Chain A
Amino acid sequence: MAAARGRPRGGLERDVLACLAAADRPLSPTEVLAELGGDLAYTTVMTTLSRLHGKGVLTRESAGRGFVYELPVPLREVPASVSANRMRRILDSGDDRAGILARFVSDLSPDDEEVLLRLLSQDPPTRER
């Protein structure tokens, strides 16, 4: 299995947030821990969740003996998301002439699509060690 490496400072907060954003329901610390996997301690995840709640980034409600956490429901037309979406439109329309924005993945040609599908279907993937 992959070696557990230290996360950069703040990396865990982002991973926890990404995890909650991907889930469509509130998650308990145990569920977040199960999602994020191996090398983390339960208390670390719980501390991170309550710190994010303390900063007002997350909402929580009590469930059983503990809490479940989720991202607040987004308000429509929040200026922040409007300008984020404007950035995406700039990317799509090719107006980013100086190439300032770096998109995670570029568009695929049909034969590349085939190559990637074939690679993903190799399950379990062959690991080089």
Chain B
Amino acid sequence: MLLLLAAVPLVASACLGLLAPWAGNRLPPGSAVKVLATAAFVTALATGFCLSIVAFNALARIPLIATLGKWSAAAAGLDGTPPPVGGVVLGLAVIGLLLAALRRSARTATDLTHAVLACRRLQELSDGLVLIHDPVPDAFALPGVRGKIVVTTGMLQALTAPERRALIAHEQAHLAHHHQIYIQAAELAAAANPLLYRMPKHVRALAERWADEQAAHDVGDRIVTARALAKAALARTTKPARQPAVALPATDHQMANRVLALTRPRPRPHPRLVSALLGLALISAVSSIWMAHTTETKFEHAQQAYAQTARNSH
């Protein structure tokens, strides 16, 4: 029973990882980001919790620990508890994952702090718009307390007025909808649960799509938004003045997919798919709570059994 319950969040996170790309193509990107990031975070938390409970159960069978805890080692071993050696292995795994999650959180906190400080230093023209006088086309959003949109003159010159509006609306959408929170939640989930290792990539790509859709909605024209994306991407690649940066090989066709998605109608809401994904998170949470409850009951019995034998031996 114990191992069965512990398997639930593991299976749920594996399903979530497998379903993410498929669901991302079907759901409106906004709901996809929210649902996937939330579900990933909850299942990762439940996985860690369940694994720690199994590890605790297994270690509790060690006679020395049982004596210290004043429970019967034999009673602690009931309910399909794995042998102590399994507890040691699992315990080490849980500690490893916990450390990975902590390291990830520390990195996020440092980088976010740097971003917020940089954001405060940047002098905006008006309403969070920061202009860099540079012919190299570039634009990005910098999250902060209010956030800033940084854009070069080169980027603005590559676009027409409606396309510039789409660009600014896109970056504004990143800030207004707090995309960072979802992305960092997915990163944290992946650090704590390796079964979700591809989730951050999906959530990032979907956050870009979300901002694209929001921009298309704000400008009121999908094609203008698609053109803005295409022209900006081409301007960046073909500009010879650009420093040959550590160019990540773009093999995932993200830009082409984003532009093509805007030439098609906006994805429809898909409440059943959303419920299914949230269901995975829910059963993980329920199974971890259930596990905690059965373990508590088992240890109450084990302590009673211990007290019983102690009395009998007197």
Contacts and interface: CB of A to CB of B under 8 A. Distances in A.
Majority secondary structure, B binding face: helix
Contacts of B149: 14
A97 interface: yes
Contact of B236 (A55, A107, A109): A107
Interface in A61-113: 71, 74, 78-81, 83-88, 91-94, 96-109, 111-113
A113 B187 contact: no
Nearest to A76: B133
B164 A120 contact: no
A92 B226 CA distance: 24
Nearest to B154: A22
B254 to A, nearest CB: 5
Interface in A1-46: 2-5, 7-8, 10-11, 13-15, 17-19, 21-22, 35-37
Interface stretch (B86-94, B217-225, B288-296): B217-225
Contacts of A115: 256, 259-260
Contacts of A2: 219-221, 224
Contacts of B76: none
B161 interface: yes
B263 interface: yes
B164 A116 contact: no
A92 B229 CA distance: 19
Residue from B125, B134, B230, B253 whose CB has the most chain A CB atoms within 10 Å: B125
Interface string B147-171: 0011101011101011011011111
A98 B112 contact: yes
B241 interface: no
A35 B184 CA distance: 39
A23 to B, nearest CB: 9
A102 B121 contact: no
Contacts of B259: 115-116, 119
A96 B111 contact: yes
Residue from B134, B142, B161, B208 whose CB has the most chain A CB atoms within 10 Å: B161
Contacts of A94: 245-246, 248
B207 A102 contact: yes
Given A14-B129, A92-B246, A103 B157 contact: no
Interface in B235-260: 236-237, 243, 245-251, 253-256, 259-260
Nearest to B162: A37
Nearest to B171: A104
A93 B245 CA distance: 6
Interface in B106-165: 107-108, 110-112, 114-115, 118, 121-123, 125-134, 138-143, 149-151, 153, 155-157, 159, 161-162, 164-165
Residue from A22, A83, A84, A92 whose CB has the most chain B CB atoms within 10 Å: A84
A88 B200 CA distance: 22
Nearest to B141: A102
A80 B265 contact: no
A52 B132 CA distance: 18
Nearest to A9: B127
A104 B126 CA distance: 20
Nearest to A86: B118
A36 B133 CA distance: 21
A108 B237 contact: yes
Given A79-B121, A80-B123, 13 more contacts: A11-B127, A14-B127, A21-B153, A71-B125, A84-B122, A84-B150, A85-B134, A88-B138, A96-B111, A108-B256, A112-B256, A125-B223, A125-B226
Interface of A: 2-5, 7-8, 10-11, 13-15, 17-19, 21-22, 35-37, 52, 55, 57, 71, 74, 78-81, 83-88, 91-94, 96-109, 111-113, 115-117, 119-120, 125-128
21 contacts: A5-B219, A10-B126, A81-B132, A86-B118, A88-B132, A92-B246, A100-B112, A100-B114, A101-B142, A102-B171, A105-B139, A107-B248, A107-B255, A108-B250, A111-B253, A112-B255, A115-B256, A119-B259, A119-B263, A127-B223, A128-B265
The 6 tightest CB contacts between A and B, nearest first, are: A80-B123, A92-B245, A2-B221, A10-B127, A98-B111, A22-B156
